[in-house]
Chain A
Amino acid sequence: MNESDSAQSPKETEKDKNSRRAFLQKIGVGSVLLGAGATGFQSVRALIPDILYEASERFKIGHPAQISEGVTFIEDRRLYVFKEGKTFYAISGACTHLGCTVKYTKLNQPKDIEVDGLKKKINFEFHCPCHGSKFYADGTNFAGPAPRPLRWYKLEQSPDDGQLIVDLGEEVEQNFRLTV
């Protein structure tokens, strides 16, 4: 009792601060904080999944011959796949602003555009319903809040059965074409 009284008295000296009692107190408080921190960490860490039951980013979309000429929209992956004769390419349907699905919009008459000095003629665009972003046929953003062009994804042909494979994990440039 006497000891604790003197520890709380206002005449606390430097020596008291470094006393065994103060040291043990610090250890006590420290271990409680450490324990609370560790418990907090494990609780939050448990919420960061280590396994995901999501569909693979690489998937087959069918034989080149089965894909119809022009545009095909793969609904569950929000992917526009284009076929021009023997060449294929794929553009993401997710708007680069906030991720809504952009709509393929046919133009009434072809439009002349210039992207990075290249002149092109397009007959469709992509329009986003959420915030009004607009993209040319090649995915280049030209109106609305979208900060960058639509993503292009890599296409390849499966060596085993010849089906086309999309890899959503691998972005490619706008000049990418797969010829089969």
Chain B
Amino acid sequence: MQFAEQAKKIYNKLVWTWNPGSEKESGDAIVKNILLHWFPNKISKGSLSWNYSFYLGTVSFVLFSILTVTGMILMFLYVPSVERAYSSVKDIEFVVAFGWLLRSVHRISAHLMVAVVFLHMVRVFLTGAYKNGTSVGSNRPVNWIVGIVLLLSTLLLSFTGYLLPWDQLAYWAITVGTNIASSAPVVGEKIRFFLLGGNTINQNALIRFYVLHVFFLPVLVLFLFLYHMWRIRKDGGLAIADHESLNQKPEKALPVKSKTYSLLGITNGTSVHVQTTMVNEEENTVSSVPHLIRRLWLVTLATTAATILLAILFTAPLEEAANPSVTPNPAKAPWYFLWLQEIVTDTTLKLGFITINGAFIGGIVLPTLLIALAVWWPYRDPSGTGSAGVWFSSERKKQNYAFIGICVVIIIFTVIGTFLRGPYWNFYWPWESWPTMPVKF
């Protein structure tokens, strides 16, 4: 039967051997497979090691996948209208079979994704992995910048996501968020109007954030992720591979001119993986099938299991329905924005007659400067190629301290905002009890 043969052919393109009998079989599993062809055939032991990368990028992608799957189910159940949004989320929580679990998994994955993407950035910085090493034609700073955009997209996804339940948290987050935008000089009010689709927070605003959340931002993340992965291949793999090749015999393998599999099919000339071939390949590399793929599966399963467990332990809260007249006291952003909330509180400046709103300084100027600093950093990093792909390189000591310093400040502000701020954003030690506050004015 021709149909059966075709089906088998397609099936064989989607699966691969777990236990290759030869190098050829192992290589075929990569290059003949639609899902795996973008991985290298062989991978260095360093790139594979747990304690170099901690597989944080993989974890981020797994979380993104979980978010996509749970999100698509939630889209069938959620109604993006101001009249029905809150009650549809309430239904998901209390009526829909396993709705609470879907919502909880979606929320926990989002929280974890913010944390893991941030940790991934920290890992890349501390290992100097944004630096070009020895491999030919690499341009890792570009991938670092793509990573920053991915981090920002993750934050925006979280922000747009927690607006959707249209509860008090949602309403006051959108109030504060869009007012930060409007604190920009000249164009601020216009930007706020565009974001909200009006002057007040209403249906237009909800549908805008909904479409951003379920379509624009996920698609952006998906494309950026693909480019992020493709660049890793173009850059000669993880930076640690470059570092490993430095410690090898000095002769370098010449790029082999041959017909090779490139990303886009068979091409003549040298290909990315030929250029990164290491000298002692036999000793230092293993076949991606099964070694890399097995670890990727392990990470996927562990992340999924941890997410579901956490989702059961920490179920998603739902505050009261949105009420424009009563701001909760205290009104707190989610933890990953609390450092910003703390900063916009502290940065209103008085210069003579002019008062500059902290919303502008802390909410726009400072974050922009931080992003600019991060983008600019790889281009000003004076350390040598030997510092690429190695944890806490002595040559990059000062840089690592500076980076850790910034992270610690952000974390301290986050902790203050999370644990030490009470009603009216007053400071309370954890052992001090908060005064009871009237709900109405």
Q: Is the CB of A47 within 8 A of B324?
A: no
- The CA of A49 and the CA of B196, in the complex, are separated in Å by 10
Confirm or deny: B218 has a beta carbon within 8 angstroms of a beta carbon on chain A.
Answer: no
Confirm or deny: A145 has a beta carbon within 8 angstroms of a beta carbon on chain B.
Answer: yes
Total A-B pairs in contact (CB under 8 Å)? 104
Given contacts A97-B358, A145-B357, A147-B348, is CB(A129)–CB(B180) below 8 Å?
no
- The CA of A132 and the CA of B327, in the complex, are separated in Å by 12
- The CA of A49 and the CA of B207, in the complex, are separated in Å by 13
Q: Which residues of A contact B15 (CB under 8 A)?
A: none
> Which of A128-170 touch B at CB < 8 Å?
128-132, 144-148
Chain B interface bracket (under 10, 10 to 19, 20 to 34, 35 or more) = 35 or more
Confirm or deny: A112 has a beta carbon within 8 angstroms of a beta carbon on chain B.
Answer: no
Q: Is the CB of B344 within 8 A of A131?
A: yes
Q: Is the CB of B202 within 8 A of A129?
A: no
Confirm or deny: A82 has a beta carbon within 8 angstroms of a beta carbon on chain B.
Answer: no
- Tell which of B91-99, B129-137, B328-336, B397-405 binds the partner: B328-336
Q: Which residues of B contact A53 (CB under 8 A)?
A: 202
Q: Is the CB of A129 within 8 A of B355?
A: no
Smallest Cβ-Cβ distance to B201: which chain A residue? A99
Given contacts A98-B359, A100-B172, A130-B425, is CB(A73)–CB(B341) below 8 Å?
no
Q: From DSSP, what is the main secondary structure of chain A's interface residues?
A: loop
- The CA of A146 and the CA of B183, in the complex, are separated in Å by 12
Q: Is the CB of B197 within 8 A of A131?
A: no
Confirm or deny: A83 has a beta carbon within 8 angstroms of a beta carbon on chain B.
Answer: no
Q: Is the CB of B175 within 8 A of A132?
A: no
Confirm or deny: A75 has a beta carbon within 8 angstroms of a beta carbon on chain B.
Answer: yes
Q: Is the CB of A130 within 8 A of B172?
A: yes
> Which of A21-67 touch B at CB < 8 Å?
47-49, 52-55
- The CA of A75 and the CA of B180, in the complex, are separated in Å by 23
Q: Which residues of B contact A98 (CB under 8 A)?
A: 175-176, 179-180, 183, 344, 359
User: Of A55, A75, A128, A145, which is within 8 A of B358 by CB?
Assistant: A145
A129 to chain B, nearest CB (A): 4
Q: Which residues of A contact B176 (CB under 8 A)?
A: 98-100, 130
B435 to chain A, nearest CB (A): 12
Smallest Cβ-Cβ distance to B198: which chain A residue? A52
B197 to chain A, nearest CB (A): 5
- The CA of A131 and the CA of B345, in the complex, are separated in Å by 5
Given contacts A97-B348, A100-B175, A131-B345, is CB(A147)–CB(B358) below 8 Å?
yes
Q: Is the CB of A75 within 8 A of B325?
A: yes
Q: Is the CB of A99 within 8 A of B423?
A: no
Q: Is the CB of A54 within 8 A of B441?
A: no
Confirm or deny: B12 has a beta carbon within 8 angstroms of a beta carbon on chain A.
Answer: no
- The CA of A145 and the CA of B172, in the complex, are separated in Å by 17
Confirm or deny: B248 has a beta carbon within 8 angstroms of a beta carbon on chain A.
Answer: no
Confirm or deny: B426 has a beta carbon within 8 angstroms of a beta carbon on chain A.
Answer: yes
Q: Which residues of B contact A129 (CB under 8 A)?
A: 327-331, 423-425
> Which of B337-366 touch A at CB < 8 Å?
341, 344-348, 355-359
- The CA of A71 and the CA of B328, in the complex, are separated in Å by 21
Q: Is the CB of B441 within 8 A of A147?
A: no
Smallest Cβ-Cβ distance to A79: which chain B residue? B325
Q: Which residues of B contact A132 (CB under 8 A)?
A: 345, 424-426
Q: Which residues of A contact B172 (CB under 8 A)?
A: 100, 130
Smallest Cβ-Cβ distance to B333: which chain A residue? A130
Confirm or deny: B326 has a beta carbon within 8 angstroms of a beta carbon on chain A.
Answer: yes
Confirm or deny: A111 has a beta carbon within 8 angstroms of a beta carbon on chain B.
Answer: no
Confirm or deny: B394 has a beta carbon within 8 angstroms of a beta carbon on chain A.
Answer: no
Q: Contact mask B303-337 → A, CB, 8 Å, 1/0?
A: 00000000000000000000011111111000000
User: Of B199, B346, B441, which is within 8 A of A145 by CB?
Assistant: B346
A126 to chain B, nearest CB (A): 9
Q: Is the CB of B198 within 8 A of A49?
A: yes
Tell which of B183, B348, B423 has the most Cβ of chain A within 10 Å: B348
B159 to chain A, nearest CB (A): 15
- The CA of A34 and the CA of B117, in the complex, are separated in Å by 38
Confirm or deny: B258 has a beta carbon within 8 angstroms of a beta carbon on chain A.
Answer: no
Confirm or deny: A76 has a beta carbon within 8 angstroms of a beta carbon on chain B.
Answer: yes
Confirm or deny: B204 has a beta carbon within 8 angstroms of a beta carbon on chain A.
Answer: yes
Smallest Cβ-Cβ distance to A55: which chain B residue? B200
B123 to chain A, nearest CB (A): 33
- The CA of A48 and the CA of B196, in the complex, are separated in Å by 10
Q: Contact mask B398-441 → A, CB, 8 Å, 1/0?
A: 00000000000000000000000001111000000000001001
Confirm or deny: B227 has a beta carbon within 8 angstroms of a beta carbon on chain A.
Answer: no
User: Of A48, A55, A128, which is within 8 A of B194 by CB?
Assistant: A48
Tell which of A76, A78, A93, A101 has the most Cβ of chain B within 10 Å: A101
Smallest Cβ-Cβ distance to A144: which chain B residue? B345
Q: Is the CB of B198 within 8 A of A104?
A: no
Tell which of B176, B356, B425, B438 has the most Cβ of chain A within 10 Å: B425
Q: Contact mask B160-184 → A, CB, 8 Å, 1/0?
A: 0000000000001001100110010
- The CA of A53 and the CA of B180, in the complex, are separated in Å by 24
* 22 A–B contacts, CB within 8 A, in A order: A49-B204, A53-B202, A54-B200, A75-B325, A76-B324, A78-B325, A96-B357, A97-B357, A98-B359, A129-B329, A129-B330, A129-B331, A130-B172, A130-B176, A130-B327, A131-B358, A132-B426, A144-B348, A144-B425, A145-B358, A146-B348, A147-B358
5 more A-B residue pairs beyond the given contacts A100-B175, A129-B331, with a C-beta to C-beta distance below 8 A? A54-B198, A75-B325, A100-B327, A145-B348, A145-B358
The 10 A-B residue pairs whose C-beta atoms are closest, nearest first, are A132-B425, A75-B325, A129-B329, A145-B348, A145-B358, A131-B345, A147-B355, A147-B357, A99-B179, A100-B327
Binding site for B on A (CB under 8 A): 47-49, 52-55, 73, 75-76, 78, 93, 96-101, 103-104, 127-132, 144-148
